[in-house]
Amino acid sequence: MTTPGTAMPRARGIAPVRRPPGTTAAESRWLLWPPLVFFALALGFPLVTLVIQSLEGGGSAYIDALDVPAFAGSLMRTVVMAVVVMVLTMVLGTAYGLAVVASPAWLRFALLAALILSLWTSIMVRSFGWMLLELPRGAIYWFLGLFGLADEPIELYQTTLGMYPAMVAVMLPFAVLPVMSALQSLDREQLNAATIFGAGPLLTFRAVTWPQILPSVLSGGVLVFVMSLGFYVTPLLLGGPGNMTVSGVINAQMNQANRPDIGAAMSILLVGGTMIVYLIADRLFRVSEKWG
Amino acid sequence: MTIALSISDVHVTLGHNHVLKGVSLDVQPGEFVTLLGASGSGKSTLLNVVAGLQAVDSGHLTFDGVNVDKRPPQKRNVGVVFQSYALFPHMSVGDNVAFPLRAARRPAKERRAVAEEMLALVQLPGMADRSPASLSGGQRQRVALARALAANPGVLLLDEPMAALDKQLREQMQVEVTRIQRKVGITTVSVTHDQTEALTMSDRVAIMRDGVLVQVASPEDLYRHPVDEYVAGFLGEANLLPTAGGRILDDARDADVDGTAVLRPEDLELVPAGDACPAWHVEGTIHLLSFQGTRFRLELLTGAGRRVVCSLPTSVDASALVVGAPARVACRNPERVHVIAAPPSKAMVAA
């Protein structure tokens, strides 16, 4: 019996054989350069600029940033918001993924098309779309009016409640896709086996399906949480000034308060915090494997 | 608990494909019946019908005389060993085996006890806490069998049970599964395309072709008395030669032929030149001679160009068997000659 630990070095030892014939490590390594250069320019350069900017006052910008009362408040709000979006998206995304897999072909196509189209559409456009729905005399008001249910203009636009549906809709694909791929790779015979051995649909889901898709549900959730920390447009448009996120506060420092150093320090704190959350979550739930 | 299984006139259509065309089969309590056929013959579909995973267009299924057509798979109390074993990878071996009892809401204590008992039956005692991933292929199959038997089902269904095993392990597990089946005494229906497996394990073998049961009989009966050329060729090697009036007619015209003789290679022997020749004989020239360890394999070409395969003991003097030389082979025991009452088709030797 070999343990994974003893099998690993052997696997590494035969790895070079799998390279296409005629290429050596040195020859194929140049393929790594284009993405590395891209990352250096697109991610590294702005990040370094931000760090330099934030350190202009000798690091005092970080202290100033933490002293801005709106920052601490928005940080708290952003994390809570990200958690709420994460939980809602995980629940809805799992249900959506199950629906896609269980549907007949035409419905599966429709569900997938809706998901992919939403993924392809700009977040700005989608947020404006939700705005049109939620305006006091918007589409929802009109629709309710058809049934005589809307006596007075609805109060949804620019409320906390109003921003969540849009944010969940924006994030949904990132929760659905990993769940769907886990469901599709599930062995059909296992479901048949559960049925044969007397399990109803509930026990089959609880005892067979759920434990095997849980890692993907979690990894989708982590991704949604991390991405939700950077929400800017949607809460701004739909949540109103009372729901300003960290991104909003950073924008205010940069463009209104004219303190780019404080804005830069806040950005670094947000990016750093997000990275720490992601790295911990990746260790715990192996997020990157589910998306690799 | 073991039951009598009765399948009568079952039809199944999948899409535009008429997969089962009126299949009837009765299985006695405790009997081991194997459905043998090429892929696409409908044997797996028939197994799914018994399990309740496949609905039927028409026909009936009874367990101990009770109609179960409308009974969902959960309530049929069948045990299945799936082709891929379908063990639950996130559960321990013990939890896998006890799953049917969990579904039946049996108390945890009983579940543990039954799991231990079943694992002992399949000779994997003390493995309850292992994970399925840490087991070998043969051990996984034993676990799948233990799980299939855990809820004391009325019927055991085996879907290509040996397909995932290598050859040596396969022979070992054939013996092992048969031992357990006999010990438990459970009515068993197995599906395979492996003729050796079917012959080794079964009380009776049902040959399936294009959605129909061609012949259902004991392994020996099938081998000795096949109803048609397909069955003759499916089980082992057979020489199919045209006959008329109790003799082989090599150069026969179609009009004279009244049947097809099935001659097994091992029932043929050489007749030295000058010796009197039994009625059932063939003449030809030696086409090929190969040494196969325990036997010689001799191939003759008859005057009409038919290939006749003959399996000879190694005690035969092989020096005279030169390619191109004339030779006569005959079957001395007329009881070993089986005649199908239909002229042979063009393929003379089916492997």
Q: Residue B75 belongs to what H/E stretch?
A: none
Kindly list the residues of chain A whose beta carbon comes within 8 Å of any beta carbon in chain B: 1, 187, 189-190, 192-200, 203, 207-208, 211-212
Residue range B5-229 forms a domain whose CATH class is alpha beta
Residue in the structure block whose two tokens are 């890692």: A215
This complex has an ipTM of 0.82
Q: What is residue B351's predicted lDDT score, i.e. its pLDDT? A: 36
**From the candidates A196, A209, A213, A214, which should be mutated to test the interface with B, based on the most B CB atoms within 10 A?**
A196
Q: What is residue A68's predicted lDDT score, i.e. its pLDDT? A: 87
Q: Is B139 on the interface with A (CB under 8 A)?
A: no
**From the candidates B47, B99, B131, which should be mutated to test the interface with A, based on the most A CB atoms within 10 A?**
B99
Q: Reduced to 3 states, what is the DSSP secondary structure of residue B216?
A: strand
Q: What is residue A25's predicted lDDT score, i.e. its pLDDT? A: 64
- Phi-psi label, residue A118: left if phi above 0, alpha if psi -120 to 50, beta otherwise: alpha
Q: What is the CA radius of gyration of chain B?
A: 24
Sheet strand arrangement including B204-209: B78-81, B155-159, B187-192, B32-37, B204-209, B212-217
Q: Find the CB nearest B103 among A187, A198, A211.
A: A198
Q: DSSP state, B56?
A: -
Contact at CB, B74 and A198, closer than 8 angstroms: yes
Q: What is residue A15's predicted lDDT score, i.e. its pLDDT? A: 40
Q: Find the CB nearest A195 among B74, B77, B84.
A: B74
At residue B230, does pLDDT exceed 60? Answer: yes
For chain B, domain boundaries: 5-229, 237-350
pLDDT tens digits for B260-315?
889 999 999 888 877 777 888 888 899 999 888 889 999 999 888 888 999 999 88
Average pLDDT rounded to a whole number, residues A49-64: 88
Q: What is the CATH number of domain A46-99+171-291?
A: 1.10.3720.10
At residue B347, does pLDDT exceed 60? Answer: no
State what percent of residues in chain B have pLDDT above 70: 96
Q: Is B342 on the interface with A (CB under 8 A)?
A: no
Q: Which of A15-19, A48-52, B43-47 has the lowest mean pLDDT?
A: A15-19
Q: What is the CATH number of domain B237-350?
A: 2.40.50.140
Alpha carbons B338 and B341: distance in angstroms, whole number: 10
Provide the token pair at A35.
């993405």
Confidence grade of residue B26 (pLDDT, cut at 50, 70, 90): very high
SS (H, E, C) chain A: CCCHHHHHHHHHHHHHHHCCCCCCHHHHHHHHHHHHHHHHHHHHHHHHHHHHHHCCCCCHHHHHHHHCHHHHHHHHHHHHHHHHHHHHHHHHHHHHHHHHHHCCHHHHHHHHHHHHHHHHCCHHHHHHHHHHHHCCCCHHHHHHHHCCCCCCCCCCCCCHHHHHHHHHHHHHHHHHHHHHHHHHCCCHHHHHHHHHCCCCHHHHHHHHHHHHHHHHHHHHHHHHHHHHCCCCHHHHHHHCHHHCCHHHHHHHHHHHCCCHHHHHHHHHHHHHHHHHHHHHHHHHHCHHHHHC
Provide the token pair at B305.
């160009």
Q: Looking at chain B, which residue has its C-alpha nearest residue A204? A: B103
Shortest distance between the Cα of A81 and any Cα of chain B, in A, equals 33
Q: Is B131 on the interface with A (CB under 8 A)?
A: no
The separation between the first and the last C-alpha atoms of chain A, rounded to the nearest angstrom, is 29
Q: Give which of B91, B112, B342 is closest to A190, Cα–Cα.
A: B91
Cβ under 8 Å to A: B residues 59-78: 73-75, 77-78
Average pLDDT rounded to a whole number, residues A170-185: 92
pLDDT tens digits for A223-255?
999 999 989 888 888 888 888 889 999 988 888
Confidence grade of residue A6 (pLDDT, cut at 50, 70, 90): very low
**From the candidates A1, A3, A197, A217, which should be mutated to test the interface with B, based on the most B CB atoms within 10 A?**
A197
CB-CB contact of B240 with B350 (8 Å): yes
Confidence grade of residue A78 (pLDDT, cut at 50, 70, 90): very high
